[in-house]
Amino acid sequence: MVRLQKLLAEAGVSSRRGGEQLILAGRVAVNGRIIRELGTRVDEAHDQVSVDGKPVRVRRKLYVALNKPAGCVCSRKDELGRPTIYELLPREWSNLYSVGRLDYDTEGLLFLTNDGEFALRLTHPRYGVRKKYIATVEGRVTQDVLDRVQRGVFDRGERLKAEQARLLSSSLARSTVELVLTEGKNREVRRLFELQGFAVKRLRRVQIGRIKLGELKAGRWRTLTEPEIKSLLG
């Protein structure tokens, strides 16, 4: 049994807030009876739900892991005509959307789904889902730099902070750093290093929660297993 507005959201009829407005407006019926109570629960398998007389069909939930290559965007359409991640997926999966985003130049693990609750659990700061990145940085990064990154810095009114930062290799020309973040603000890793005077030359996300990128090749995808989905929601 699920709340009626949640079912409407999962079916792609509206957002959950929009579903509440549809219910209050008397536009939603369950088994032929108009429902106006927001707390109403329905059985997805047996109850027949309609909006403005048209049947609502709940879509099968999909959970996909993609190895996003550099040089594509997470938007469905790009005003500059750049490639998008959706061009890498089967056409019948047009109802999927990315769980968070990776910027144009960033590579690595990205989830796509049509499950709003799943997306919320992975992106809202209160759940603190850990995301691991490998950054290749121009120049020698010292422990002092990593300490500042872990203490946190302020930029344009936002506090940027890595939960963990570990040096994997370092030379005068470049350094490789492993970082763990829990919030994932816009371009957070790149901004953290830019504020310390370093340019990130390559950035890959290699893990979300317990799910690792593994051997998944750039531009390829796979569906998540039931145990993997449960590990992310647990």
Residue 78 annotated in active site? no
CA angle 144-147-149, nearest 5°?
Answer: 110
- Positions of E strands within 161-199: 164-170, 174-181
Cα separation, 36 vs 23, whole angstroms:
5
The three-class DSSP label of residue 219 is coil
Write out the DSSP string of 12-69.
Answer: TSS-HHHHHHHHHTT-EEETTEE---TT-EE-TTT--EEETTEE--PPPP-EEEEEEP
Please identify which of the residues 43, 52, 103, 105 carries the catalytic annotation. Answer: 103
Residue 135's beta-bridge partner residues? 177, 203
Using alpha carbons, select from 219, 226, 229 the residue that is nearest to residue 89.
219
The three-class DSSP label of residue 146 is helix
The three-class DSSP label of residue 189 is helix
CB-CB contact of 65 with 93 (8 Å): no
Cα separation, 169 vs 90, whole angstroms:
39
CB-CB contact of 192 with 158 (8 Å): no
Catalytic residue numbers, as ranges: 103
